[in-house]
Every structure is written in C-alpha cells, then in structure tokens.
Amino acid sequence: MSTLQVSVWRGAASGEYRSYEVPRHASQTVLDLVTHIQRAIDPTLSYRFACRVGMCGSCAMTVNGVARWTCRTHVAKVAENDRIQIAPLANLPVVKDLVADMSGFFDKWARARGQFAPSATRKDEFARVSPASPERREANAGIECIGCGVCYASCDVVSWNPDYLGPAALNRAWTLVNDVRDGAQGERLRAVAGDAGCHACHTHMSCTERCPKQISPTAGIAGLKRAAARAALKGEL
C-alpha cells in the first residue's frame, strides 16, 4: 500500500511540524488524512470539522501554504512527491494544532455592522424585493458566504494590518448595503469607511481567487468604496 508523508503543525503560536505516515486511498481528502492521524496514530491532535461536505466551513486549514476547505480538497490534487503540509489558517491566533481562533474574525463582522437591522415591524407588509433589481443582484452575489475564513487567511493586508476588517466582513457589509429592508445604512458605511475598512484593500484579489464559494469580496469592497465616496461627497459620513 502506498503512503503519504503528512507534516502537521503541532502546538500553538510556538510549536513545530511533526511528520506522520498515512496510508493512501482513492478519493481521499485532506480532512481524511487529519482524521486518520487523530484516530489511528495520535488522539491528542486537535482539529475542527462538522459537515464534511463543504457546507459549514469549519474545516478550513492551510494546505501546502494555501488556505482551503480540507473536506473538499482531494489529496491527489495537492500532494507533491507524496508529501503534504497542513497548518492552521493564517492571520488568526492558534488555539492548538490545526484549530485557529475565529473570535477576532467574527468580531470584525460585528465591527463592520454585519448584522441585519430591520426597518419594519411585524405589523408592516412583507417587503417585496424584485430578484431583478440591481440591489438584489449585488446582495445575491455575496450572500452565500459561510464564514469559513479562507479569504481572510489569504489576504496580505490582514497580515500587515491586523486591524483591517478583511474581505469576509466587508463582503457581508456590502450584502447589507444592498438590502433595501435594512435600516442602518449610514452607520454601516461609517463603520467600513475608516482606515481599517474598505479603503485599505489594495485589490490584490487573493480573497476572490481562493473563496471556495466563488464569491468576489474584491468586487463588494469596490462597491463599498464607491458608496463611501458618494456618501462623503454628500457630507453623510
């Protein structure tokens, strides 16, 4: 039976890569490798997953230097000379081994005013939003984000400036800027227009290249820049 040499980050901020020999199988995913190590070789290995089918985003890790959903990454696509290196997501503190601390990532969603703010009451009629309206189409383009952090881990600006809100939070803000039912538009634009907001993005597009949901945070961030500029010209920021 052929095997793979799998090098896995062990520890927290300080630690080391440890190497494990894992049997190779057809259609094996990177998450299968991690699961094999934890169940058959070293039960102290910590990692995170839930759905195994690309729906929850919790299995995101760095594979050979690139952020990916490990449950949807086939070993055959990423193995180099029968070797794979697996690390936790970049740009986030490490809790242990392959588990990144996502709290700062989601705190930034809150800072970007990523929560829907209803403007109607239960006594009002249901809002009617045409699927063909430009706002609805813009919102649809980013709405399928599942908060996996792959884009965030791939963004150079987050690496240089840990205060930067990052592609996922800004993509979320853009979907809400285009939600005609939302009542916090001014507050949200002010939240994303600061130094650590949309204007810090240098349009390198790593987020868009890496997003497993084919979302383009870069396009949403460009939309935020335009909306913030318009608001500034009107003296609304």
Q: Give the three-class secondary structure for 14.
A: coil
* Residue 201 burial (CB count, 10 A): 23
> Does residue 223 touch ligand SF4 according to CB under 6 A?
no
> Does residue 206 touch ligand SF4 according to CB under 6 A?
yes
> Does residue 151 touch ligand SF4 according to CB under 6 A?
yes
Amino acid residing at 232: A
* Shortest distance in whole angstroms from residue 207 CB to ligand SF4: 3
Report the alpha-carbon distance of residue 69 to residue 29 in Å, rounded.
10
Stretch touching ligand FES by CB under 6 A, among 14-22, 47-55, 181-189, 214-222:
47-55
Q: How far is CA 222 from CA 13, 176, 202, 226, in A?
A: 34, 15, 10, 6
3-state secondary structure 159-209: HHCCCCCCHHHHHHHHHHHCCCCECCHHHHHHHHCCCCCHHHCCCCCHHHH
> Does residue 168 touch ligand SF4 according to CB under 6 A?
yes
> Does residue 215 touch ligand SF4 according to CB under 6 A?
yes
> Does residue 50 touch ligand FES according to CB under 6 A?
yes
- Give the contact letters, 47-86, x = binds to ligand SF4 (CB under 6 A), - = no: ----------x-----------------------------
> Does residue 87 touch ligand SF4 according to CB under 6 A?
no
> Does residue 33 touch ligand SF4 according to CB under 6 A?
no
